[in-house]
A and B are shown apart, each in its own frame.
Chain A
Amino acid sequence: MSLWEYANPRKFIETTEKLVPALSVLAVAALATGLIWGFFFTGDERRMGASVKIIYIHVPSAMMAINAWVMMLVASLIWLIRRHHVSALAARAAAPVGAVLTLIALVTGAFWGQPTWGTWWVWDPRLTSFLILFLFYLGYMALWSAIEAPDTAADLTSVLCLVGSVFAVLSRYAAVFWSQGQHQPASLSLDKKENVADVFYFPLLVSIAGFILLFLALVLVRTRTEIRLRRLQALDARERMA
């Protein structure tokens, strides 16, 4: 069976019917476990004190804010190259989820920055590129809403997504590229030496899994809604013509 069969809206709706409840249950379980474990059952960090508990929401949301844009980029490329409507609708469906995750990363970062750096905000490369990424999310959603012709909207938003990918990459690597600013480099890495201490690391991994699962569940539900909305608009148009 080919992967492209799932580009058929009917097939997509059928396949995701059972997937959504399973993903939702797993997301709630992982989020509850990771956050409760991290918040109630881990101690303070030597330098950051109890403020380290913000890591369980800040790091996963920031990670998924960038990954959501990467997912939108892949879906947009599929639309531009193969013209599969489901992929364009999946990109559209992911944008509000990515925007909220970016906002969470910015807000929790400000709450964490205040006691750590003594300020809510600095024009640091990573923070600034994250703010621009958030503005790109808003622009992307506005562009979808502003254009009535669905294929034109999908084309233009896909191009915007390609442009915005620069800031998604910058958000991830800004601290490395410029080696300046307040923000520390990544808290997690495949290189074990760069990771946070194990006592924070394991609940953080569970929390990240929860955010990933929640993202997937929400994007699937929203994509199903976008597909149904497209069908509804077609039926309404047919009714008006009759």
Chain B
Amino acid sequence: MPDLGKYAFTVLSAYGATLLLLGGLVLVTWVRARSVRQRLAEAERRREAGNG
């Protein structure tokens, strides 16, 4: 760990906030993509069953 001296709080807080926001964005994107893909697959199955 580098010696950040009197800047430790600001530097670590900036990195912490960035990782938190980016991590949250990636997580939300992934969860929503997965959920929509599953719902669409189910809807397509229902449509094919209805047509069949």
Q: Which residue numbers of A lie inside 8 Å of B, CB to CB? A: 35, 39-40, 49-51, 53-54, 57-58, 61, 96-97, 100, 103-104, 107-108, 111-112, 114-115, 214, 218, 221-222, 224-225, 228-229, 231-232, 235-236, 238-239, 242
Name the B residues within 8 Å of A242 (CB-CB).
Answer: 50
Q: Which of B2, B43, B44, B50 contacts A50 (CB 8 A)?
A: B2
Whether B47 and A57, one on each chain, are in contact in the complex, defined by CB atoms closer than 8 angstroms, is no
Q: How far is the CA of A58 from the CA of B13 in the complex (A)?
A: 12
How long is the Cα–Cα vector from A235 to B39 in the complex, in angstroms?
A: 11
Residues in chain B within 8 A of chain A (CB atoms): 1-8, 10-11, 13-15, 17-18, 21-22, 24-26, 29-30, 32-33, 36-37, 39-40, 43-44, 46-47, 50
* Chain A to chain B contacts (Cβ below 8 Å), 23 pairs: A50-B5, A50-B11, A51-B11, A53-B4, A54-B10, A96-B25, A100-B24, A104-B17, A107-B17, A107-B18, A107-B21, A111-B14, A114-B10, A115-B6, A218-B29, A221-B29, A225-B32, A225-B33, A225-B36, A236-B43, A239-B43, A239-B47, A242-B50
B25 touches A97 (CB 8 A): yes
Closest to A60 in B: B18
Please state if A222 and B33 are interface contacts (CB–CB under 8 Å): yes
Majority-rule SS of B interface residues? helix
Q: Which secondary structure dominates chain A's binding surface?
A: helix
**Nearest A residue to B2 by beta-carbon distance?**
A40
B44 touches A57 (CB 8 A): no
Residue of A at shortest CB range from B44? A235
Tell me if B36 and A51 are in contact (CB < 8 A).
Answer: no
